[in-house]
Chain A
Amino acid sequence: MIFKARVWKVGENINTDLILPNRAFYLPPEEQVSYVFSANRPGWAEEVQLGDILIGGKNFGMGSSRPAARSLKNLGLSCLVAPYINGLFFRNAVNFAFPVVECEGVDEAFEEGDIAEVDVIGAKVRNLTQSRELSAKPLPAPLLAIIQAGGIYPLLEKEGLIKPKAIANPKR
């Protein structure tokens, strides 16, 4: 699980309501994506290209249990890297199979537009534009396994414990 792409940067304490605002709460997931950061960065969601990497600041994802991580994934982002991540956002990311990496100093090691290489399993984050490498916190093996399985729902579907449901996805 190695991603190499252009990075976007956001600041500290990015909350779930900025990622998935109330106005979009009950829309189908594929429509929720166009509201990501509409309050703090209007128009941004349209600029994201499939595979782009998001670099967040400290305490990324504070706030509610809403499926904000699913919106970032559905937007086409390949992963999120932040110094440290709110525990509830982190759970949602793992369970929706959106790779997240906690890496101290990452917010200072990148300018927006730099090219990053993120090795999720090897826990390394490289800034290819500025030739820098940072060590990240390794993802615990059981959580990596959930991400590799495509999240929690496919696991439950396979055992027949929940009914399958196709989720439309415009960008991937």
Chain B
Amino acid sequence: MGMTIAEKILAAKSGQNKVSPGDVVTVRLDTIILFDNNFMPSNWRDIQHVCDPERLVVVFDHRVPAPNQLAAAGHRTGREFVKRFGIRRFHDVGREQGISHQLVADYGYALPGSTLVCSDSHTCSGGVFNCLARGVGGPDIIYAAVKGETWFRCGETIRYELSGKLSPAVTAKDAFLQIAGVYGDHATQNVEYGGAGVASLSINARKTISTMSAELSAEFATFECDATLRDWLTDRNSMAFSAVNPDSDASYKALRFVDLSQLEPLVALPDSVVNNSQPVKNLKGTRIDQAYIGSCANGTQDDIELAAAVLKGHRVAPGVRLIVVPASQMVYRDVLKSGAIATLMEAGAMIAPPTCGACGGGHMGVLANDETCITSSTRNFKGRMGDPSSRVFMASPATVAASAIVGSIADPRDFLQ
């Protein structure tokens, strides 16, 4: 019996011929990403040795620029760490900054067949690059930085075969909300995305799906390697790589089919992403106080330009705050050049610097009691973006933008044909 993508990379990186569900293996890590939260006083442990500074990346993203003294102290600890061990790939506040998972995309840090960890749960984002990427914990990341390896428990794999092409104003976020709504959590399991429909999705769109797979509780979320991916990577990273595609007789726990052409805009109701999706038409008219476009899942150039296309010639409704956060400085520069930022600002959006910001309830748009937000970010847990009594609906950037115009949850197809 053959292996899935995740099983093949687990085997190759642990020096085994075969890895099967249930196995626990120790794996060599190619890329280890630390971010500002790791350096905060309640989390940091003073590292005396690193495995190899060339395998490390340090990013400040969750609290950027420092909103308070604690964050500032964490950033300072991080800068000292970078200096002490001579870490070259350092994304400090400045030109190369961004949300870690976006930087992985911008700079081609995750190569096909490689392994990558970061102690942020959405690290499975890197699976879009045919890479075995996983969010680990704080202790894990310190162990990884020191030893250059970690343990993984291999789960069973669910494969999604995508077909067809999305309709206008329907996005990869809606495809994800369809999967999460119908199939619920995938805890202890890997997900693998493939099929002819993948070719119609940009890397940014695929990345929305791999990133959001953290919400399925998936272990690893992987895509196959195709020409679109090769082009993306060769533009950004000169290192050679070899793609890992699943064996033709790989064994899957389940094979599921999603026809992209049949999808419509969806919204996840507050408090949970899984088993909680509704067609946007069922929620039309739900009043909002805030609309948020950003995060590691939906702060890409595609997302911001889509929002601008919806908002072009319109104004944000009175009483609604639209906050747009490009996921990295590179994305920000691109959307400045394309004119999307000017369109959004003309419509009344506030543009925040690249940061996790209000996605994690940190700063830049935290919600007050009883407020309602519609967000394109990754999570809608109770109290995620602010006060526990606030409500967070989740949808695509197109749906969020349409809702900002109307002042209540709205269908993006009314604005984009």
Contact = CB atoms under 8 A, between A and B. Distances in A.
The answer to whether A binds B is yes
Interface of A: 13, 15, 17-18, 21-23, 25-29, 32, 38-40, 58-59, 62-67, 69, 84-88, 90-92, 95-96, 140, 142-143, 151-153, 155-156, 160-163, 165
Given A86-B217, A88-B135, A162-B48, A152 B143 contact: yes
B288 to A, nearest CB: 21
B24 A21 contact: no
Contact of A63 (B48, B121, B143, B153): B121
A142 B361 CA distance: 36
B139 A153 contact: yes
A96 B139 contact: yes
Contacts of A95: 137, 139-140, 143
Given A64-B121, A142-B151, A59 B382 contact: no
Nearest to B379: A63
Nearest to A15: B381
8 contacts: A62-B215, A62-B274, A64-B121, A65-B120, A65-B136, A86-B187, A142-B24, A143-B151
Interface residues of B, number: 45
Nearest to A13: B272
Contact of B40 (A26, A65, A143, A151): A26
B155 interface: yes
Contact of A17 (B43, B274, B384): B384
A62 B187 contact: yes
B18 to A, nearest CB: 17
B66 to A, nearest CB: 12
Nearest to A86: B217
B139 A84 contact: no
Contact of B362 (A22, A90, A142): A22
Contacts of A92: 137-140
B125 to A, nearest CB: 13
B120 A21 contact: no
Contacts of B49: 161
Nearest to A83: B187
A40 B175 CA distance: 30
A22 B146 contact: no
Given A40-B382, A87-B217, A62 B119 contact: no
B255 interface: no
B153 A87 contact: yes
B188 A84 contact: yes
Contacts of B24: 140, 142-143
A142 B151 CA distance: 9
B381 A162 contact: no
A26 B42 contact: yes
In this complex, the member of B139, B151, B382 whose beta carbon has the largest number of chain A beta carbons within 10 angstroms is: B139
B274 A88 contact: no
Contacts, number: 133
Interface in B145-198: 146-147, 151, 153, 155, 185, 187-188
Contacts of A161: 47-49, 146-147
Residue with the greatest number of chain B CB neighbours at <10 A, chosen from A25, A84, A143: A25
Given A63-B121, A88-B135, A22 B360 contact: yes
A22 B392 CA distance: 15
A62 B274 CA distance: 10
B45 A163 contact: yes
B77 to A, nearest CB: 13
Nearest to A32: B42
B139 A152 contact: yes
B142 interface: yes
Contacts of A63: 121, 379, 381
A51 B105 CA distance: 45
Contact of B137 (A23, A91, A142, A163): A91
Interface string B351-368: 000000000111000000
Interface in B98-140: 119-121, 135-140
Contacts of B272: 13, 15
B246 interface: no
B219 interface: yes
A29 to B, nearest CB: 6
B46 interface: yes
B187 A156 contact: no
B138 A65 contact: yes
B416 interface: no
B382 A62 contact: no
Contacts of B299: none
A112 B289 CA distance: 39
Interface in B334-390: 360-362, 379, 381-384, 388
Interface string B227-242: 0000000000000000
Given A17-B382, A17-B384, A142-B151, A156 B135 contact: no
Contacts of B147: 161
B143 A88 contact: no
A112 B255 CA distance: 38
A156 B361 CA distance: 32
Contact of A59 (B135, B139, B153, B187): B187
B185 A13 contact: yes
B70 interface: yes
Contacts of B362: 22
